[in-house]
Each structure stands twice: as C-alpha cells, then as structure tokens.
Amino acid sequence: MVPLIGPSGNAISSQPLLVISTVGTSLLTKQLRLHDNTDGWDKRILDTANLTRPEIDPETKAKIDELAERALSDLKAADVGRRRQLSAELNGLYGIYNGNLAGSSRDMHFLQATDTYQGRMTAEVLREFLRTEGVTADTYIPPRLSTVDTEAFEHGIKELIRWCDECIPGYKDRGYQVVFNLVGGFKAVHSYMHTIGMFYADRITYIFEGSNSLVNIPRLPVRIEDEALLPYATYLLMMEKGYLCPVSYLEGISEVVIDSDGSHAFLSSWGQLLLAQLKRKKALSERLLEFPYLDYAESFKEDFRRAEVGDRIRLQETLAKVSKLLSEHHGSLSGLRSDPGLQYEDLVNSRHGGRPIGHFRINDSMRATCVSVPRGSLLLRRFGPHSIIERP
C-alpha cells in the first residue's frame, strides 16, 4: 500500500505502524553541563561510548546514570519543540506523527540501540518517556553491536538482520506498515539499516540537518536473483549455523555474500540479508537440499513433499545445523547429542537394521527420525509430528 501524503508532506496511513528507531547516545551527552566538561566528563563519556556495563568503572557508570535520570526528567518537563531539540530520535517520531505522539497509541515502537551501557541507557530513557506518553515501546539491542571493532560490529549487524527477519514479517502479516526512523543513531548503523529497509520497510524517514522537516524515502522494489544463490544454498545455510566453508566449495559466488580468510568462508552481513530473503522464496522449499553426511529414505522424501512450505524451510535449516555438527565431528553423533536445541536421543525399543533409531527436534511440534549408518552418515527416515515419526 502506498501511503497518502498530507499537507505537511508527512505520510498518512490508515494502517497501524511498526516503527523501528535507531538510537544513538546524544541524548545523554546533551545533558553534560559546563562544569562537567571542565571536570573532563565530556572526554570520559566519549572514551567509554563502546563499553558494556561490566567494563565501565563505578564512577563513570554513576555519571551515566545521572545523565540518564536528568534526560528523562527534562523530556517529561519539556514542550514538544524542546523535546525535539533534546532527542534526535524523538525529533523523527514527532515528525512522523505531525507533532502529536498521541496518534501512535495503536502502533508498536522498537528502539534499536548499540550493545553498550550508554546505548542501553539511552534506549531505556526513551522507552520510559514514550510509555508515559501512552506509546507502546520496547528496546532491541543486537548482541555485541558496537563500533569498538569490525568483528563486533559485523556480528551485531548479523544479529540485527536476523531479528528483522524474525520480527517484521509477522507485523506485516497483521497489516502493519513498517517505518524505519533513522533520524537518531550512528552513521555506521544507518548505512546498513537503509539497505535492510529496502527489503523490510515500507518507508524510511530522515530529517534535514538542523531542521524539523521530515524526509520520507519509499521502499524501492528490490529483488534478488534466486538463480544466483540457489546453487550455493546448502553451504549458505550451513554457514548461517557457523560452518567454516572451504572457499573451493563456493567457486563463482558473489563476493558480497561471503567473507573469507583465504581458505575458509563465512556468511557476510549482506549474505545474511540475502539468505533471509531466499528463505521466503518458494524455490528454497521445492526440493530437499543435499547436505554432507545426510541421506534420505523415500519415506522421508515423501514426508517432505507433504509438508507445508514453512515447515520445509525450517527442516532445511535444521538439517544444515545437523550437517555442520556431523562435519565438525567427522560423522560422530556426539555433537548432535550435546546440542541443546536439537535434543537428540534414541527412541526407546526402536531399531532399524539392528541399529537404534534416533530423533531430533525441528520445532516444538515436529521432529525427524534417523539411523546412523556404517559409513558415518545419517539416514533420515521420517519427518513430522509424533504421529508420523512413530510410523515404520
């Protein structure tokens, strides 16, 4: 649905909104007074911007807590104009709602911050303020997301992409329009959120520097070419589960999809995003993928053909994890037995060809049965709810 545009240039929609706002830390630093800077707090706050709570010394933590309390108090006491000056994030939200947050009572807001003490405290202040205004709001902190180093940042971005893929489609299915509010937050995160928004958001909002004028960027019709990724789907799914894939297995793949140390490859942030889109395509559920150490009985193939599309994709994701663990343990079941998500164990008094029949978890209602065969692989026998896997 293309949003209508009102007289002020802001988008108007009869749909409820899911608003995801990137959060920085300027709300805290704006609370520093002249005497604070004289005492060197401006530098100390800057130097500790990427630290988590356990890493911050007690004195600095107390100062950050003081700034957070001061910020919340100021926001509650201020008028709309002052609030927009104090918080870039609120400046964007007030722009979306034409200066009146009361219009967002049926909407859902997520405040996405860095995994740092200052980032968390800023998001919590904004969450508490929005809730006092009658807005339904929560925080989302991608694990390890910070600009302390490239590894932590990329790990956090991958977690952010995973969360977007798990969270946003459910809202869209319920009729929500998705808005990325990128007025606040860090430029490094914005560069990724803008591209992520091309796949998940209906529009992205900015505000011109030094003004309250909202800029709405509509979603572009971005499409990925399934044919470019499907030949590598097996290893893409395995890499998503942490598999270090020999680069020789990925000859011809686009460099943007993977990162490499020269010998092994792992999924890049963009690869994570593209794989998430591929999972939503019918192509990934049309046939069982061939995974290392896994073989399929005809009964298993038939169960796959009868399953719903969503269950097929969830199965393929689980098989990628099973294959990854078997590859790492050279066919041994020890990795499967120790993984808490798979919950692998043998069925009581059930054997096939003299060997025990094992089973592992796909989701809360579905499992797969299998038999370990002499050459070190698993023969998958049945897939589905208990009523199916208990059949011969």
Per-residue pLDDT of the chain (392 residues; tens, 9 = 90+): 334 334 344 444 578 999 999 999 999 999 988 777 777 898 899 999 999 999 999 999 999 999 999 999 999 999 999 999 999 999 999 999 999 998 777 899 999 999 999 999 999 999 999 999 999 999 999 999 998 899 999 999 999 999 999 999 999 999 999 999 999 999 999 999 999 999 999 999 998 776 788 888 887 777 777 788 899 999 999 999 999 999 999 999 988 899 998 899 999 999 999 999 888 887 788 899 999 999 999 999 999 999 999 899 999 999 999 999 999 999 999 999 999 999 999 988 888 777 889 999 999 889 999 999 877 789 999 999 877 777 66
Number of domains in the chain: 3
Residue 20 is predicted with a pLDDT of 98
d(CA 44, CA 353): 68
Which of the listed residues 259, 285, 311 is the one where a domain comes to its end? Answer: 285
Same domain, 75 and 16: yes
Residue 392 is predicted with a pLDDT of 61
Same domain, 198 and 265: no
Which of the listed residues 285, 306, 324 is the one where a domain comes to its end? Answer: 285
The distance from CA 355 to its chain's CA centroid, rounded to whole angstroms, is: 40
This prediction's pTM: 0.84
Which of the listed residues 159, 186, 218 is the one where a domain comes to its end? Answer: 218
Same domain, 212 and 245: no
Same domain, 281 and 293: no
Which residues are bridge partners to 99 per DSSP? none
What range defines the domain where residue 263 resides? 225-285
Residue 227 is predicted with a pLDDT of 82
Same domain, 172 and 42: yes
Same domain, 56 and 199: yes
Same domain, 233 and 206: no
Torsion region of 354: left, alpha or beta (phi above 0 gives left; psi -120 to 50 gives alpha):
left
Residue 228 is predicted with a pLDDT of 85
User: Among residues 189, 183, 216, which one has the least CA distance to residue 201?
Assistant: 216
CATH code at position 295: 3.30.2310.20
Tally helices (H) and strands (E) across the chain. 16, 16
Same domain, 97 and 86: yes
Same domain, 392 and 297: yes
Same domain, 234 and 213: no
